[in-house]
Amino acid sequence: MKNIVPLLVAVLLMSFANLPYDSISKFKWNDKNWAQVEKDNLLGFIDRNGTEVVPPKYTFVYPFSKKTNAWAKVEKDGLLGFIDKNGTEIVLPKYTFIYPFSKKTNGWAKVESDGLLGFLDVNGKEVLSVD
């Protein structure tokens, strides 16, 4: 019995070492259909089948929100963008700040990059470029 316990511990540790992620959250994202995964301090998502829908490449992921067209704001290398509920990058992470979409700005979101301001429309396209 004494020999079996260390063997079981070793087998368990080896099986966890083969996991592709450092951590996996509860299924609470995207209408509870996705779990957030972390690998090397980067975040992504898997679905309930364990299929990777967003590879771990973001340093931070904000919740999906009606204020952001049901998109999730993502941060990569200190820059912000958006993903949709399919995991597609709607707006590439290239802004230092993204303000909420607002009726005051024709439903657009003000964006900032290197001190320059621009606007995104509800489809994620630049209406007024920051370039």
State pLDDT tens for residues 20-31.
899 999 999 888
State pLDDT tens for residues 64-113.
988 888 899 999 999 999 999 999 999 999 999 999 999 898 899 999 99
Give how many domains the chain has, as a whole number. 2
Q: Kindly state whether residues 39 and 70 are assigned to the same domain.
A: no
pTM of the model: 0.81
Domain that holds residue 87: 59-131
Q: Kindly state whether residues 29 and 64 are assigned to the same domain.
A: no
Q: Kindly state whether residues 129 and 76 are assigned to the same domain.
A: yes
Where does the pLDDT of residue 10 fall: very low under 50, low under 70, confident under 90, or very high at 90 and above? very low
Q: Kindly state whether residues 122 and 65 are assigned to the same domain.
A: yes
State pLDDT tens for residues 41-66.
999 999 999 999 999 999 999 999 88
If you ran DSSP here, which 8-state letter would residue 68 be given? G
Residues contacting residue 96 through CB under 8 Å, at least 6 positions apart: 78, 79, 80, 112, 113, 114
Q: Kindly state whether residues 69 and 84 are assigned to the same domain.
A: yes
C-alpha to C-alpha distance for 78 and 96, rounded to whole angstroms = 7
